Amino acid sequence: MLAEIKGLNEECGIFGIWGHEDAARLTYYGLHSLQHRGQEGAGIVVAHNGSLSVHKGMGLVTDVFQSGTLDALRGSAAIGHVRYSTAGGGGYENVQPLLFRSQTGAMALAHNGNLTNAIELKLALEGQGSIFQTTSDTEVFAHLIRRSQAPTFVEQMKEALSQIEGAFAFLLLTEKALYAALDPHGFRPLSLGRLGSAYVVASETCAFDVIGATYEREVAPGELLIISREGVRSERFAPEQPRSICSMEYIYFARPDSHVDGINVHTARKNLGKRLALEAPAEADIVTGVPDSSISVAIGYAEASGIPYELGLIKNRYVGRTFIQPSQALREQGVKMKLSPVRGVVAGKRVVMVDDSIVRGTTSRRIVSMLREAGAVEVHVRISAPPITHPCFYGIDTSSKEELIAANRTVEEIRRLIGADSLAFISQEGMLEAIGRPDISPQRGQCLACFTGQYPTRLGQAARPCLTMK
Amino acid sequence: MLAEIKGLNEECGIFGIWGHEDAARLTYYGLHSLQHRGQEGAGIVVAHNGSLSVHKGMGLVTDVFQSGTLDALRGSAAIGHVRYSTAGGGGYENVQPLLFRSQTGAMALAHNGNLTNAIELKLALEGQGSIFQTTSDTEVFAHLIRRSQAPTFVEQMKEALSQIEGAFAFLLLTEKALYAALDPHGFRPLSLGRLGSAYVVASETCAFDVIGATYEREVAPGELLIISREGVRSERFAPEQPRSICSMEYIYFARPDSHVDGINVHTARKNLGKRLALEAPAEADIVTGVPDSSISVAIGYAEASGIPYELGLIKNRYVGRTFIQPSQALREQGVKMKLSPVRGVVAGKRVVMVDDSIVRGTTSRRIVSMLREAGAVEVHVRISAPPITHPCFYGIDTSSKEELIAANRTVEEIRRLIGADSLAFISQEGMLEAIGRPDISPQRGQCLACFTGQYPTRLGQAARPCLTMK
Amino acid sequence: MLAEIKGLNEECGIFGIWGHEDAARLTYYGLHSLQHRGQEGAGIVVAHNGSLSVHKGMGLVTDVFQSGTLDALRGSAAIGHVRYSTAGGGGYENVQPLLFRSQTGAMALAHNGNLTNAIELKLALEGQGSIFQTTSDTEVFAHLIRRSQAPTFVEQMKEALSQIEGAFAFLLLTEKALYAALDPHGFRPLSLGRLGSAYVVASETCAFDVIGATYEREVAPGELLIISREGVRSERFAPEQPRSICSMEYIYFARPDSHVDGINVHTARKNLGKRLALEAPAEADIVTGVPDSSISVAIGYAEASGIPYELGLIKNRYVGRTFIQPSQALREQGVKMKLSPVRGVVAGKRVVMVDDSIVRGTTSRRIVSMLREAGAVEVHVRISAPPITHPCFYGIDTSSKEELIAANRTVEEIRRLIGADSLAFISQEGMLEAIGRPDISPQRGQCLACFTGQYPTRLGQAARPCLTMK
Amino acid sequence: MLAEIKGLNEECGIFGIWGHEDAARLTYYGLHSLQHRGQEGAGIVVAHNGSLSVHKGMGLVTDVFQSGTLDALRGSAAIGHVRYSTAGGGGYENVQPLLFRSQTGAMALAHNGNLTNAIELKLALEGQGSIFQTTSDTEVFAHLIRRSQAPTFVEQMKEALSQIEGAFAFLLLTEKALYAALDPHGFRPLSLGRLGSAYVVASETCAFDVIGATYEREVAPGELLIISREGVRSERFAPEQPRSICSMEYIYFARPDSHVDGINVHTARKNLGKRLALEAPAEADIVTGVPDSSISVAIGYAEASGIPYELGLIKNRYVGRTFIQPSQALREQGVKMKLSPVRGVVAGKRVVMVDDSIVRGTTSRRIVSMLREAGAVEVHVRISAPPITHPCFYGIDTSSKEELIAANRTVEEIRRLIGADSLAFISQEGMLEAIGRPDISPQRGQCLACFTGQYPTRLGQAARPCLTMK
């Protein structure tokens, strides 16, 4: 099994707007709808009267911004970022957007993704005397822009974009324009929308719905959008490649009301559930899903199987970092951290428990055991992803998932480990058909690397063990 | 239509525990699971070494309690309270539990419900020189206990309980015992559970699941439970009455994983949906529910009708009081406050929109219009409650619902007002059968006052207009 | 030696204003200037449109009030309170002003002082069914007003005032008037001022200077002032008594720029220093004072003795409750909590160290030892108060001063205990002359109880050991 | 008159410690004692187990650090910084220490001073592709170190130190050593101390007293100290120059208990007062000083003149950024912002008002007028600095002092502008003698540039108008 080397920008949410006098406030609502993509930190940069201002902090969007701080962020263009909670590193310094000032103008950067050659680039830059204040690969990208000798800023950006590898969706704001760029494989979602005469760009379309904007189109892989007073201009920094959008965005990461690359996530999940019911039926009394990502799947499974959907598991809505965790002693006495079984629903029942994936298996084992303690007589586990056998280097945090349970075990072995009465994963074909991409074609492809080990890009030092970014 | 006079304890959540060394911490988790019953304030009182300590504050449970404050609340017995956000009044003074000290010992009180004769009692008490520091009817109850000349504390409580009218579920903590009392009609839910050798009492059973406690039984109408070192003792302060548990607890107030008076709320809601599908079918492409309370109903409707359930509306998870509301201008431009339609799901579709109730009609009108703007070609509204024609005096906040749209309008008139293509309410019989109480009998009854105007109790001055508690 | 029984209102600061549209904001500035009288909690009540609103909290005035909370307190009359930090008890419930609502109108109370018969009164009231939510004697006073059968509110207040004993300065606000009352002996300072057409009342005149108000006169012992739209009316609730203003207000409690009963505090202190220099000269190189209260005394001592005043001790300006205290280990290594000696100033010098009082002697011993460690070759201690031999029951917190070192020891014994080369206290006559009251007369007297044990009032149960208010 | 171009590190406080297990906590106490040097932001970096951790924030030391954050900063070496409040710019990004990470190790920087060639250096660095995240000249220094091709880190630092010009006192922390460097003229104070086996470095010696450390010696101009496990090593990066320590450190900036370059600040100030009394006597009744810096001066003036020192002006102890400023309307009605006159002290008196300096004259005019309104019959102003006629480029913030009143006016003209009855400045010779440096010699010199316009260094672009750092 490969070692895991992770950057810090994985699984984030980005939002940008150009040409609206309430830019900061709309960015706040946009980020709020993207909160599921990152709870550790949030920030907004606005452009106003030829200069950039920033406010950011640790915590949820609603923790970081108060009415006063938001009002102070005047300007008609803004970018914002919500950041995923990573175990190590972190801290304020890594909260985005990053703001870089210079005598020739300032620029702000917000990034979702993971550069696979960040360490190589950073070592080279440091050899040339560059200094770094964050451990984020976003800063590497900024250095590349500033080091470029190309004649125009757009050319400098394109030169920098052509040097970086891996998964990236970038928003860059200057006093003059908002730039949006997506890596040549399009691993991460990035959509363009309109709100009256203003343009918006966001990681997910739910951010458009919440502010009343309309969806225009996807930012294309290898595309650089330049949004300014002259409108939207499209440039390419790389030739068109088969899109490799992350399968996990559909399976568990995106919000169910978003459309990722044009496909509604809830519908995709319901179809995954229907397909699972066909591929792996079960004799059971109720179907229940692990919230939140598997509720839609469970409803689909119930619909196709005729077994009633019931609320057998409930998620405690912990509100971020202020929740006081139960002690080990209390946990052993039965205090639930995140999920509670609903005793009155599952007691005496044969239960189909639908979940999105099995990584290390510990969570699945805990849920199965929890259902049994609450009286379930049988527990049949159905998983809406194929077995995950390889780590992700494109921004899905499997860094805490050191031992992928499916890497070298059979389904039967896993079933025994998690203590289920039966276990089934959806097939790869089943997943692709359910999501709506029966043929993986250059124009409409999905990244399957974590299921197959076939990585769409060179991995560089990212794949070498024991090398972490400092 | 009757005027509405409301106290301040409506729709709250209460939790108590006796005999566990982590009493405060378990109360914290219990209250957290009851957070949906009140977001304005939270508090915990613990008994320790013969004295009571309190910590309380405005905001969510996770806002009010930090690790340090919780650790400081040592003791093996505790009661806690989460309080509903009411428009007027309020403030720290009304956050519960209320703590009353005296030379002969302290007592703390947590209350869910609404006393219909609070104003009469308060006027009388003030006439005798009593002073009040809150606008809560809980304080009235405390005065009655202290004024009682009965020989024992239990007798004093019973005398006080026999003087108050309306809906009430009380928890009272002294250094020597935890007391739980439910009004003679049992309007509000109150359950008893066990956790090892400890006893727990809570507004909803979800609080038991979250701490790993097991359900024992309901607190009976007119019952006073005394929990102390001697175990649980049951007394009656009023003769047994037909239970009149609030229908709205099933329809929208309780958490779906709770069992209210022995009936699982999610299951009750799914059955309401199935019944609605039979009573009021629709020709449509998708079924969608207004989150959170109507999701289960919509799933039931979809299951019975064969029309697929889809995620057509999504709720923005505002985090309490810190969320910055959009300005009127932004709202008019389309920024959504609480609900967003999912354009890609509803566009071009005939939609069945399931909701729990129609009070003033403004919310329903807004949702219908929102769905149409998002492209729905037809909107069929189905309501899982009968028309609400009368105000509630037992603790459901209809104080902002001054004009009950159904009070003197036909269903067709309401349909036109909210702009739906069709509209149907569940029948009263349908509701009772779906919830699981086909025959309203003395032992297993439901309060139907808001649908029928037949109030189970005398109303007193509560029903006189223009009299508010100061 | 007598035991010490303390209430919770000792050593507080109160401020009231009537007839200014910025009442809350001016109260904020007034309380800020009275912050030295209490750092534990602060609160403001305003009267506006016939109702009272409150905001209060734990901590400093600047912690409790933010711009928004202050703006929300609209109204043209207000009272405010800053509360002393007491070891036990406390908590939000005891933060003042206390607000009592009733059907016939609300009243708010702010109190500085200590009632010596509070426990007796409270026991009696509880016997009649009264309930208490605080451990403050202010609440006792409120009950007495409400229990009074007198025909008018002013008569009710006077009846209540005549029942309480001890030291008290009360401000009471209703929708119709601001009331100020001072106990018949006038233990605590309370002054009346004007700001344009508005009236202000404050514990110290520094609050007038800070808001630009002018001093009018003292509130007289036994006087009840009623300030309303009709202007100021004076009533008496007790016959005129010899004033017994607390000596400690001059010696250490009041701010140096205040005038207490017409005498400037800084000047009084400088004169205490001059007198000390005459009564107890020393052969020394420098004079230094223990900040803050003894700086003025030290300057006076230097002026009269010709020994130069130097800055030998400096106070660390801890900002309230947020300061992180050093661990015991760090303290032993020399980390200073409150006072640091200035090594370069005292090294090799014979030092006169001037302090305001010696209570238990531990502080004095620590300072002497600190000066020696910093290189002082001799330390001569001069105290600007006579020896304190008896506890105070009128509001000076000597509750932590359980063993009054001077109660049964000679000056020489004390000198040895604190490790000084010489020690002298000012004489009682010297103190009175220096402050400016050579003859203690009925019109211009000072309380000397802590030096003499001659208490101006009956003490009641306050003087019985082991009785504390619950 | 020259234009003013300012960096952002002016007038700060720095503290470092090496070799103590409570490094962060001692840095906290040290910074707390240096709080007068900067109230806008504070930060601490610790070195532990080969890596650096940082915590910093806006506000006072006690605002930024809570018990938990301090405990998390484990390590036996630390540097800290308190930052002055500057009008423009600012923000979290500029709060120090700045932390720079790289694959070859991290370094943290804390700086007090102002580089006069920062803009030139920054332009050159940006031309070579460097990017900047702050507007601080500290970041320029970090770039120079990283860009250096010298073989060792110490040589790199020395090369960087030789490129920068102006006033600087730097602390630099790596995992292996604590470095302290002072510019060749020694404009800013920087002292070395010991605490057991640990070494401490601080802007002022008061930080040593507060933690119980002993003073060792000054860091010399042009010296680079390297403190590590091998002890303290001294290197020179520039030849020894005549020291030009800032006169204003004595006159108003340093804390009175500090020794600056070996001279006690309080004593220096008292001597300034005595000298002023001889140079510019006055016929008056009382002497008063403008707090805090002029209290010592006023005491000296009183001592030498025989006119009694009184407390005629008092400072309101605003607690940092949370204090709510009075509105313009309230200020006009007499609400005092920072200083209040003590009416009872000054009314009817001829007052000598001692202040440290006159920059724009507006403050002096306001104080004079305030004293007159409070009843002073004459106001004689005495200033303990010579007239300030030239801007400072070495770190004293005169950026808001655009029009130096003394730049082209006579003393008599200034007197009329501020409305005093008489006005006198101390002479330059008088100042130097009073401070204790009668002969300005290479070993013991003072910077007099703001009085004479003779700048000890080349000024570079700092002196060109209209060039500000971005």
User: Model confidence at D94, in pLDDT bands (50, 70, 90)?
Assistant: confident
User: Model confidence at D219, in pLDDT bands (50, 70, 90)?
Assistant: very high
Nearest to C103 among B54, B122, B128 (CB): B122
D336, C309: Cβ pair inside 8 Å?
no
Select the residue from A61, A82, A319 to test the B interface by mutation, using most B Cβ atoms within 10 A: A319
pLDDT (mean) for C386-407: 77
Torsion of CA C148, C153, C157, C159, to 10 degrees: -40
User: Model confidence at C127, in pLDDT bands (50, 70, 90)?
Assistant: confident
B147, C126: Cβ pair inside 8 Å?
no
Q: What is the pLDDT of residues C222-255, one digit of tens each?
A: 999 999 999 999 999 998 777 899 999 999 899 9
More confident residue, D25 or C401: D25
Q: What is the pLDDT of residues A157-205, one digit of tens each?
A: 999 999 999 999 999 999 999 999 999 999 999 999 999 999 999 999 9
Residues 6+ apart with CB under 8 A from C462: C5, C114, C116, C117, C118, C119, C166, C393
Whether A34 has a pLDDT exceeding 50, the answer reads: yes
Whether D1 has a pLDDT exceeding 70, the answer reads: no
- Does the annotation place D293 within a ligand binding site? yes
- Does the annotation place D292 within a ligand binding site? no
pLDDT value, residue C107: 95
A126, D102: Cβ pair inside 8 Å?
yes
The closest of D95, D98, D111 to D60, measured between CA atoms, is D95
Q: Which residues of C touch D66 (CB under 8 A)?
A: 322, 324
Q: Could you tell me the two tokens for B309?
A: 């359930």
Residues 7-66, chain A: which have Cβ within 8 Å of D?
A: 54
User: Model confidence at A90, in pLDDT bands (50, 70, 90)?
Assistant: low
| B88 and chain C in contact, CB less than 8 A | no
Q: Which residues of A touch D135 (CB under 8 A)?
A: 101
Q: Where are the domains of chain C?
A: 13-241, 264-467
Question: Which string of b and e fits B128-156 if b means at least 16 CB within 10 Å?
Answer: ebbbbbbbbbbbbbbbbbbbbeeeebbeb
| % of chain A beyond a pLDDT of 90 | 62
pLDDT value, residue C441: 55
pLDDT value, residue B287: 97
pLDDT value, residue D333: 77
Whether A410 has a pLDDT exceeding 80, the answer reads: yes
- Does the annotation place B293 within a ligand binding site? yes
Rg (CA), chain C: 22
Q: What is the pLDDT of residues A369-401, one digit of tens each?
A: 999 999 999 999 999 999 999 888 887 765 444
Q: Which residues of D touch C342 (CB under 8 A)?
A: 206, 209, 257, 264, 266
pLDDT (mean) for C95-123: 90
Cβ atoms of C419 and C366 within 8 Å: the answer is no
Task: Report d(CA D83, CA D31) in Å as an integer.
Answer: 10
Whether A21 has a pLDDT exceeding 60, the answer reads: yes
Q: Amino acid identity, residue C314?
A: I
| C100 to chain B, closest Cα gap in Å | 5
Q: What is the pLDDT of residues C198-227, one digit of tens each?
A: 999 999 999 998 898 999 999 999 999 999
| B67 and chain A in contact, CB less than 8 A | yes
| % of chain D beyond a pLDDT of 70 | 90
pLDDT value, residue D415: 97
Whether A463 has a pLDDT exceeding 60, the answer reads: no
pLDDT value, residue B68: 81
pLDDT value, residue C302: 95
Residues 6+ apart with CB under 8 A from B57: B41, B42, B43, B63, B64, B92, B95
- Does the annotation place C466 within a ligand binding site? no
Catalytic hit among B5, B8, B12, B376: B12
pLDDT value, residue C223: 97
More confident residue, A137 or A121: A121
Whether A148 has a pLDDT exceeding 60, the answer reads: yes
| B192 to chain C, closest Cα gap in Å | 29
List the single range of A465-469, D37-41, D109-113 with lowest mean pLDDT.
A465-469
User: Model confidence at C180, in pLDDT bands (50, 70, 90)?
Assistant: very high
Q: What is the pLDDT of residues A268-293, one digit of tens each?
A: 999 999 999 999 999 999 999 998 88
Phi (first) and psi of residue B223, to 5 degrees = -95, 145
Whether C411 has a pLDDT exceeding 90, the answer reads: yes
Q: Amino acid identity, residue C342?
A: V
Q: What is the pLDDT of residues D112-166, one digit of tens each?
A: 988 989 889 998 998 888 888 887 888 999 999 999 999 999 999 999 999 999 9
pLDDT value, residue B467: 40
- Quickly name the fold that domain D264-467 has: Rossmann fold (3.40.50)
B101, C133: Cβ pair inside 8 Å?
yes
What count of Cα atoms within 13 Å lies in the side-chain half-sphere of residue C120?
Answer: 14
Whether D9 has a pLDDT exceeding 50, the answer reads: no
pLDDT value, residue D3: 23
Task: Report d(CA C324, CA D15) in Å as an integer.
Answer: 18
pLDDT value, residue A400: 43
- Does the annotation place B355 within a ligand binding site? yes
List the single range of A57-61, B267-271, D265-269 with lowest mean pLDDT.
A57-61
Whether A333 has a pLDDT exceeding 80, the answer reads: no
Domain B13-241 has CATH 1.10.3720.10: no
Task: Report d(CA B164, CA C75) in Å as an integer.
Answer: 37
D342, C257: Cβ pair inside 8 Å?
yes
Instruction: Identify the burial level of B462 via C-beta atoms within 10 angstroms of its C-beta, where 0-12 means exposed, 13-18 middle and 19 or more buried.
Output: buried
pLDDT (mean) for A79-105: 77
Nearest to B101 among C100, C106, C132 (CB): C132
pLDDT value, residue C385: 96
Strand partners, B198: B195
Segment of B33-37, C107-111, D359-363 carrying the highest mean pLDDT:
C107-111
Residue with tokens 């007027």: B88
Instruction: Identify the burial level of A217 via C-beta atoms within 10 angstroms of its C-beta, where 0-12 means exposed, 13-18 middle and 19 or more buried.
Output: exposed
DSSP three-state, residue C284: coil
The per-residue DSSP string of A418-456 comes to HT-SEEEEPPHHHHHHHHT-SS-BTTB-EE-HHHH---S
pLDDT value, residue D133: 82
Which strands make up the sheet holding C214-218, listed edge to edge? C51-58, C41-48, C77-83, C13-18, C198-202, C191-195, C214-218
Which of the residues in chain B have pLDDT under 70? Answer: 1-10, 85-91, 317-322, 397-402, 438-444, 460-470
Whether A62 has a pLDDT exceeding 90, the answer reads: no
Report the residue count for chain C: 470
List the single range of A347-351, C89-93, D297-301, D391-395 with lowest mean pLDDT.
C89-93
pLDDT value, residue B437: 79
Q: Based on DSSP, count helices (H) and strands (E) in chain D, helices before strands.
A: 16, 23
Instruction: Identify the burial level of D206 via C-beta atoms within 10 angstroms of its C-beta, where 0-12 means exposed, 13-18 middle and 19 or more buried.
Output: buried
| B359 to chain A, closest Cα gap in Å | 25
Question: Does the predicted model carry a pTM greater than 0.90?
Answer: no
pLDDT value, residue D460: 67
Q: For D332, which residue in chain C has the nearest alpha carbon? A: C212
Q: For B120, which residue in chain C has the nearest alpha carbon? A: C103
ipTM associated with this complex: 0.85
The closest of B161, B231, B225 to B191, measured between CA atoms, is B225
C-alpha separations of B293 from B184, B253, B299 in Å: 28, 8, 11
Q: Which residues of C touch D269 (CB under 8 A)?
A: none
Taking all residues of chain C, what is their mean pLDDT, rounded to a whole number?
A: 87
Catalytic hit among A8, A9, A10, A12: A12
Nearest to C340 among D35, D209, D259 (CB): D209
Cβ atoms of C407 and C360 within 8 Å: the answer is no
